[in-house]
Amino acid sequence: MFQAHLLYKKGAKPFGFPFAKVTIGPEPGVVYLYNHLLNMPDLLRLRRFSLFFAVALLGVLLLAAPSAHAQGKRKVIQFTGIVASGDSLLGVPGATIYVPKAGRGTSSNAYGYFSMAVLAGDSIVIRSLGYANQTIVIPPDFQRQSYSVIIQLQEDATMLGEVRVFPYTTERDFKKAFLALRLPTEKGTAAADNLNEQLMRRIFNSQPMGPTANFRQTMQQQQLEYDRRQGMGPSQYSNNPLLNPFSWLQLIQQVKKGEFKKKDNDD
């Protein structure tokens, strides 16, 4: 069924619709516009359907976004354990436990214990001086909230090369310092002159008594006085042989034995 809508002059564009057909009418310069495919109500229905489809698609995307974000978010797990030395199970203090990709980590305490938060699927590296490195991977589908392990590090002794430390940065500085070196003279250095024996004796004799020497002298005097009172120390009576009874006893015994007569005969 063909239905004429409007009349247009020749060369005009009717509504810009590509599906419209223009036919020359009986009058010169006048054309008739016919719609072969759609009329105006059908066009409005098409636009409404397109708008409804776009709104529905946007709603589906908004509902699917949280679920997709939840699927991509990894679970937080509390990673704990003890770092031990080989088969001895002795704790290794100061061991480093870190996640290289995330840049976070911790260290073991004096007993080798550690605790840190990680994500499911993380690769954790354990390092300590004198031991080989170890790597532990948390399973991506791990469902529990904590993950505990006992890590046994194997000894890995590394021999370091010899390092010599010199006080000069370059060889040129060393040569300059060597050429400017002054050898000690025959008289010796100032430190050697200060250790001269005669100078040390003169300084020693001119120095007054210090607190230590005064205390020692006081203690010696008190001990000497105590010995004198007890009759064991030297006194004015014990130093004089004429006032010493033991000296008189020894003299009498010598006279009885005739020691002095023998000396007279010998003379």
pTM of the predicted model over 0.85: no
- CA dist., res. 22 & res. 39, Å (int): 15
- Which pLDDT value is given to residue 51? 77
φ, ψ at 177 (rounded to 5°): -70, -35
Q: β-pairing, 30-35 with 20-24?
A: antiparallel
Give just the sign of the alpha carbon dihedral 205, 206, 207, 209.
positive
Residue 233 contacts by C-beta under 8 Å, 6 or more apart in sequence?
A: 224, 225, 226, 227
24 in Cβ contact with 17 (< 8 Å): no
Distance CA 225, CA 234 (A): 9
Provide, rounded to the nearest whole percent, the portion of the chain with pLDDT above 90. Answer: 21
Render pLDDT for 206-262 as a digit per residue (tens, 0 to 9).
Answer: 888 888 888 888 998 888 888 777 766 666 555 666 767 778 888 888 888 887 775
Given a contact cutoff of 8 angstroms between Cβ atoms, the answer to whether 223 and 232 are in contact is: no
Compare 219 and 267 and report the one with higher pLDDT: 219
pLDDT at 209: 80
State the pLDDT at residue 8.
Answer: 42
pLDDT at 13: 46
The dihedral of CA 15, 16, 17, 23: what is its sign?
positive
State how beta strands 76-85 and 146-153 pair.
parallel
Residues of the chain with CATH 2.60.40.1120: 76-153
Return the minimum-mean-pLDDT range out of 155-159, 163-167, 192-196, 220-224. 192-196
Q: How many whole angstroms separate alpha carbon 146 and alpha carbon 191?
A: 69
**What CATH fold (topology level) applies to the domain 76-153?**
Immunoglobulin-like (2.60.40)
- What is the per-residue pLDDT across 41-63, written as a single tens digit (0 to 9) for each? 665 666 777 777 777 777 777 77
* pLDDT computed for residue 4 by the predictor: 42
Max alpha carbon distance in the chain (Å)? 199
92: tokens are: 């290794």
